[in-house]
């Protein structure tokens, strides 16, 4: 059977990206012909399962950009734009090999291990859901996660198509604190990476750490200083690893804080 050149290009990129059947090229998508009430659909429940046999290469390249898949999602936190996908991919294979169900609480992410469960919070309205990441994408600049139709509906993302969100990886058997709630004392330790009078300098260090590690990083305003704090860090090895990184960058005095 003959294939057109565009079809062959799409197939090439799908093979390079892994096992996903989602195209990296923009395609028109839509929800169901009639609105569906998904308020009864429960959040995904984190489970302790082995990594998927599919969709977890060390790295893959799409449209000339290489993505490195994380080996471990513990401590992962990220902010950016969420989008969603629906009927166009309903029933197709995801990167993990599962069938995409637009009415289930799932999502696609470029670098998280498959599967990973994450809490997604819409930063505009405060709504949160838990989804299972079982697919790769989105490959549009500036977007960090593609939500299923059901997840997008529950978060209030459908109408506009995108929304600013925060995603936090969850560990099976543990509950991650929701945005705006303090971390319970004793649940982990925090490492102060630096303190700056200048907010841009604090943000620069925050971005450097986030590019190098998957640890959550926040900036606290205390006593006129912008303090870059990493955590919670559950394992002593994580604290040692981060401290060594900071010292390599010339930061001589990282220390534990509450």
Q: What is the CATH number of the domain that holds 149?
A: 2.40.40.10
Q: Is the peptide bond before 217 cis (omega within 30 degrees of 0)?
A: no
Q: Is 149 within 8 Å of 103 (Cβ atoms)?
A: yes
> Do 153 and 232 fall within a single domain?
no
Concatenated DSSP letters for 61-118?
Answer: EETTEEEE--S--TT-EEEEEEEEE-TTTTTSB-TTSPBP-TTSSEEE-SSSPSSEEE
- Assigned domain for 13 exists: no
Q: Using the predicted structure, report yes or no on whether residue 172 has a pLDDT greater than 60.
A: yes
Q: What is the pTM (predicted TM-score) of this model?
A: 0.60
- Which of 113, 141, 169 corresponds to the end of one domain? 169
Q: Beta strand pairing status for 106-108 and 143-148?
A: antiparallel
CA 108 to chain centre: 8
Q: 113, 139, 169 — which closes off a domain?
A: 169
* pLDDT band at residue 174 using 50, 70 and 90 as cut-offs: low
In a domain? residue 17: no
| Residue 233 belongs to domain with CATH number | 3.30.70.1070
**Domain identity same for 151 and 204:** no
- Same domain for 112 and 202: no
Range of the domain at 221: 189-257
- Are the C-beta atoms of residues 85 and 134 closer than 8 Å to each other? no
How does pLDDT run across 85-143, given as a tens digit for each residue? 988 888 899 999 999 999 999 999 999 999 999 999 998 888 999 999 999 999 988 89
Residue 165's closest CA among 220, 226, 86, 109?
Answer: 109
Q: Are residues 208 and 157 in the same domain?
A: no
pLDDT, one tens digit per residue, over 57-87 is 999 999 999 999 998 898 888 989 999 998 8
User: 134: helix, coil or strand?
Assistant: strand
95 plus 208 within the same structural domain? no
């Amino acid at each position: 059977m003959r294939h057109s050149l565009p079809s062959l290009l799409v197939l090439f990129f799908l093979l390079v990206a892994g096992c996903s059947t989602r195209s990296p090229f923009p395609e028109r998508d839509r929800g169901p012909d009639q609105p569906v009430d998904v308020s009864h659909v429960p959040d995904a429940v984190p489970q302790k399962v082995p990594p998927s046999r599919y969709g977890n290469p060390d790295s893959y390249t799409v449209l000339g950009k290489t993505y490195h898949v994380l080996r471990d999602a513990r401590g992962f936190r990220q902010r950016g734009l969420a989008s969603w996908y629906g009927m166009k991919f309903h029933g197709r294979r995801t990167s993990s090999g599962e069938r995409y169900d637009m009415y289930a609480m799932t999502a696609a992410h470029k670098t998280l291990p498959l599967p990973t469960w994450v809490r997604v919070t819409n930063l505009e309205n405060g709504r949160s859901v838990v989804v299972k990441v079982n697919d790769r994408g989105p490959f549009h600049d500036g977007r960090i996660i593609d939500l299923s139709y059901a997840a997008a509906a529950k978060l209030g993302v459908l109408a506009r198509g995108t929304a600013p969100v925060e995603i936090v990886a969850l560990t099976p058997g543990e509950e991650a604190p929701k945005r705006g709630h303090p971390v319970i004392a004793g649940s982990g330790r925090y490492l102060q990476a630096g303190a700056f009078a200048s907010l841009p300098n604090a943000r620069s260090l925050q971005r450097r750490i986030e590019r190098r590690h998957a640890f959550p990083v926040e900036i606290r305003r205390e006593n006129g200083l912008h303090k870059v704090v990493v955590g919670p860090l559950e394992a002593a090895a994580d604290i040692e690893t981060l401290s060594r990184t900071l010292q390599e960058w010339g930061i001589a005095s990282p220390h534990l804080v509450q």
